[in-house]
Amino acid sequence: MPENFKAPLILASASPRRRELLAGAGYEFTAVFPDIDESSFSAGSAEPAQYAERLALAKAKSTARKYPDSLIIGADTIVDFQGRIIGKPADAEDARQIVQLLFSEPHKVVTGLAICRFRDGLEIVAHEITMIYPKQLTQRQIDEHIESGRWIDKSGAYAIKENGDEFIERIEGSLTNVMGMPMELLGRLLDDVIHDK
């Protein structure tokens, strides 16, 4: 956490993992569910990183209007498979297809990050990219993963643990980014806000 950080902070997210990461880093914050319909956002011709940033900013701005004096953090994590945007699976069959695709080749996890404050029009948007090198999964491992339900509400139909993952050979970049909140990037952005005010 940046030194001397005192601003009221709100996380515009329902993600338990993002709350855990912020709390674990020592931030004092309130979590608020963002009032947006993610399914209404079409990627169109946007690059994966642009799309993640757009969603993160929408989440932050929708919350900033209700809490004009607070710093609002919005985040959105997607998977970039060779330029194709992979979000959260719609159902078990969709999850199966996603897992079979992603665990065949290296792919990127992209998190868009936005910080807003309504009272002074502050808007900062950035993103973090982590490269994932997966292990080759057997059909049995895929079946067990789908049956477990651990894919539900997870971009790319999987989640990585703090101590690594049985499905991941290695990663290049931020582990917390893959978990849904790039804490290193967040710290730098909040530090910039403090020194610019």
CATH at residue 22: 3.90.950.10
Whether residue 160 lies inside any domain: the answer is yes
Looking at 35, 37, 69, 76, which residue is catalytic? 76
How much of the chain exceeds pLDDT 70, in percent? Answer: 87
Report residue 24 as tokens: 């674990």
| 170 vs 153, higher pLDDT | 170
> CB of 103 within 8 A of CB of 71?
no
> CB of 102 within 8 A of CB of 88?
no
Range of the domain at 184: 9-196
Tell me the average pLDDT across 116-137: 93
> CB of 177 within 8 A of CB of 109?
yes
Whether residue 163 lies inside any domain: the answer is yes
Structure confidence by residue, pLDDT tens digits, 40-86: 666 666 799 999 999 999 999 999 999 999 999 999 999 999 988 88
Distance CA 84, CA 65 (A): 32
Whether residue 128 lies inside any domain: the answer is yes
Whether residue 172 lies inside any domain: the answer is yes
Whether residue 188 lies inside any domain: the answer is yes
Residue 20: helix, strand or coil by DSSP? helix
Whether residue 1 lies inside any domain: the answer is no
pLDDT of residue 18: 94
153 is catalytic: no
Instruction: Point out the least confidently predicted range of 26-35, 52-61, 103-112, 158-167.
Output: 158-167
Task: Residue 17: name the closest of 183, 190, 187, 135 by CA.
Answer: 183
Domain count, the chain: 1
Whether residue 132 lies inside any domain: the answer is yes
> CB of 115 within 8 A of CB of 193?
yes
